[in-house]
Amino acid sequence: MFPTEEPGRPICSAKGCRVDARWVLAWNNPKLHTPDRRKTWLACDEHRDTLGQFLAVRGFLKDTVAFEAWTAAEETGGTKT
C-alpha cells in the first residue's frame, strides 16, 4: 500500500521526508507496465512538484490526485485517474 511511519499515516515518498502525504502521483513505466497499470508515489505539498517533474521528464507521470480523493475512490472501487 502506502509507506507509513505510524499505522494509517501516509508519508511523502521524497528521500528523507517524513511529512504527511497530501498528494498521490500515479505513474507507470511503459517499458515495464501495461498501459492501465498505475504505480504510486506519495508527496507532501513541498515535494509534489519535484517528484512530479522527475516522473514527467521520463514520460511516466499519468496523474496527480489529492490523497483524500484517491483513497475515497479506492474505497468505492471508482477510477482514480
Residue 81 lies in a domain: no
Residue 61 lies in a domain: yes
Distance CA 42, CA 63 (A): 12
Residue 72 lies in a domain: yes
Residue 33 lies in a domain: yes
Q: How many other C-beta atoms can be found within 10 angstroms of the C-beta atom of residue 48?
A: 19
For residue range 11-20, what is the model confidence (pLDDT) as tens digits?
Answer: 999 999 999 9
Query: Which residue segment(s) compose the domain that 71 sits in?
Result: 4-76
Q: What cell numbers appear for 57 in the block?
A: 521528464
For residue range 19-69, what is the model confidence (pLDDT) as tens digits?
Answer: 999 999 999 999 999 999 999 999 999 999 999 999 999 999 999 999 999
Provide the number of structural domains found in the chain: 1
